[in-house]
């Protein structure tokens, strides 16, 4: 069996912070702020339905491109490593597509540019999350915490603080954040300096390689008896993600149409993201090392969803700055704890260690898919029950997600 490639944690940690922050941050800003703002300008009467349309189309494109990117990177041999060529190719394509989106003069042009961007984004996501497998065995919790807790906390919340300043110049925002995404991803790649995969030995037997085919879905995804815990982790992530993005995906409209913040909309969004960023970073700093030391993983991931549910309840009952602050506090703790450890949990339940990028990529696809699914569910609920239904959806879905994680058997605690 070939020796597994590893990267020093001193190099891997900064790369795992800068990398996800660089692709997720610009995407979150564009998805939650710039895209709704542009749709409001292009077709204000259908803005809610159009957000759902873009989300549905994006979900389809993301699902396909993510699985392809993960599978291709698992089999790539280059002097830059398995993941780097695909990560940088995706970063360049995403930047160019977002620059194209900034010049869109109608919904159709915007949709085409956005779909290209969705495909490109997942050629960053699927290979990059597989960097976690490069961490030394006894420091994987620290690596996961860097990626999810710190990198994704910065991406989810840090960029929105700045992005809110570009609400009145959202076309320029598409360009600026597209460039930021490319430069940040390049810096992460240079820091990690992934080992060459030219000499990598394929441990799979020839007959096993021949059996693996995308034509046979049974060979792509194992049955429930083999992949039970992986599927429970993925389902849990989907429910938890919908619970989170049902609110964040419509945060602009919640502030303007539901909470009637008016001129305080920008400051309210910045308040939420600042609080969530602070607590997300705190969770990112401590959750991984504590998990490594105490050997506890499933319980903090599963119970983190309670905080998300409490945050949703606060906005449902309190339509004020206090309610907004409580939501931000609870969501910051919940998402920070989840992001810090959920990728490590998934790494523990992967059914086939020879396809790490594929399965981690599919799992991490939950970040993109839930951002696509949540607005569709929320839009349907809004049209029937009004904006307050978003918070009930968030509460219920978050709790279900946590229960799925706690049902995993192979990870004891």
pLDDT by residue (tens digit) across 261-286?
777 787 888 888 888 888 878 887 78
Answer left, alpha or beta for residue 212, where phi above 0 means left and psi between -120 and 50 means alpha. Answer: beta
Q: In this predicted structure, what is the pLDDT of residue 3? A: 58
Query: Which pLDDT band holds residue 218 (cuts at 50, 70, 90)?
Result: low
* Of 228 and 94, more confident: 94
Any idea of the CA torsion for 156, 161, 165, 166, to the nearest 10 degrees?
Answer: -10
Residue 342: count other Cβ atoms within 10 Å of its Cβ.
Answer: 28
Find, among 254, 293, 294, the residue nearest to 272 by Cα: 254
Summarised one tens digit per residue, pLDDT across range 308-360 is 999 999 988 887 778 888 988 998 899 888 888 887 888 788 887 777 777 77
CA–CA dist 402, 242 (Å, integer): 12
Q: In this predicted structure, what is the pLDDT of residue 205? A: 45
Q: Work out the average pLDDT over 196-218.
A: 53
Q: Residue ranges of the domains in the chain?
A: 9-197+223-406
Contact of 60 with 191, CB cutoff 8 Å: no
Reported pTM: 0.71
Q: What is the CA radius of gyration of the chain?
A: 20
* CATH number corresponding to 9-197+223-406: 1.20.1250.20
Query: Which pLDDT band holds residue 105 (cuts at 50, 70, 90)?
Result: very high
Backbone angles phi, psi at 289, to 5 degrees: -60, -40
């Amino acid at each position: 069996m070939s020796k597994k490639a590893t990267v020093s944690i001193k190099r891997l940690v900064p790369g795992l912070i800068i990398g996800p922050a660089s692709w997720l941050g610009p995407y979150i800003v564009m998805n939650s702020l710039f895209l709704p703002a542009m749709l409001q300008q292009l077709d204000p009467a259908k803005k809610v339905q159009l957000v759902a349309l873009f989300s549905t189309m994006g979900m389809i494109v993301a699902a396909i491109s993510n699985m392809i990117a993960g599978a291709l990177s698992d089999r790539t041999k280059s002097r830059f490593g398995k993941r780097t060529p695909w990560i940088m190719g995706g970063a360049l394509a995403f930047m160019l597509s977002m620059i194209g989106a900034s010049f869109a003069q109608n919904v159709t042009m915007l949709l085409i540019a956005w779909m290209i961007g969705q495909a490109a984004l997942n050629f960053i996501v699927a290979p990059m999350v597989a960097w976690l497998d490069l961490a030394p065995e006894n420091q994987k919790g620290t690596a996961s915490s860097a990626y999810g807790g710190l990198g994704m906390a910065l991406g989810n919340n840090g960029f929105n603080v700045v992005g809110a300043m570009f609400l009145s110049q959202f076309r320029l925002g598409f360009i600026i954040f597209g460039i930021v995404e490319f430069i940040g991803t390049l810096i992460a790649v240079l820091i990690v300096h992934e080992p060459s995969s030219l000499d990598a030995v394929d441990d799979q037997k020839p007959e096993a390689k021949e059996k693996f085919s995308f034509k046979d879905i049974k060979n792509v995804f194992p049955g429930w008896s083999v992949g039970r815990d992986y599927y429970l982790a993925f389902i849990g992530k989907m429910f938890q993600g919908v619970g989170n993005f049902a609110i964040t995906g419509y945060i602009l409209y919640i502030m303007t149409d539901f909470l009637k913040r008016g001129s305080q909309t920008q400051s309210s969004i910045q308040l939420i993201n600042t609080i969530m960023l602070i607590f997300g970073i705190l969770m990112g700093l401590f959750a991984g090392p504590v998990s490594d030391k105490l050997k506890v993983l499933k319980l903090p991931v599963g119970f983190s969803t309670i905080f998300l549910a409490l945050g949703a309840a606060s906005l449902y009952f309190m339509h004020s700055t206090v309610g907004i602050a409580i939501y931000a506090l609870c969501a910051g703790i919940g998402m920070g704890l989840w992001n810090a450890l959920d990728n490590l949990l998934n790494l523990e339940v992967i059914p086939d260690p020879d396809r790490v990028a594929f399965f981690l990529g599919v799992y991490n696809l939950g970040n993109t898919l839930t951002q696509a699914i949540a607005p569709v569910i929320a839009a349907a609920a809004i049209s029937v029950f009004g904006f307050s239904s978003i918070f009930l959806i968030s509460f219920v879905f978050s709790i279900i997600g946590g229960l799925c994680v706690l049902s995993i058997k192979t990870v004891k605690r």
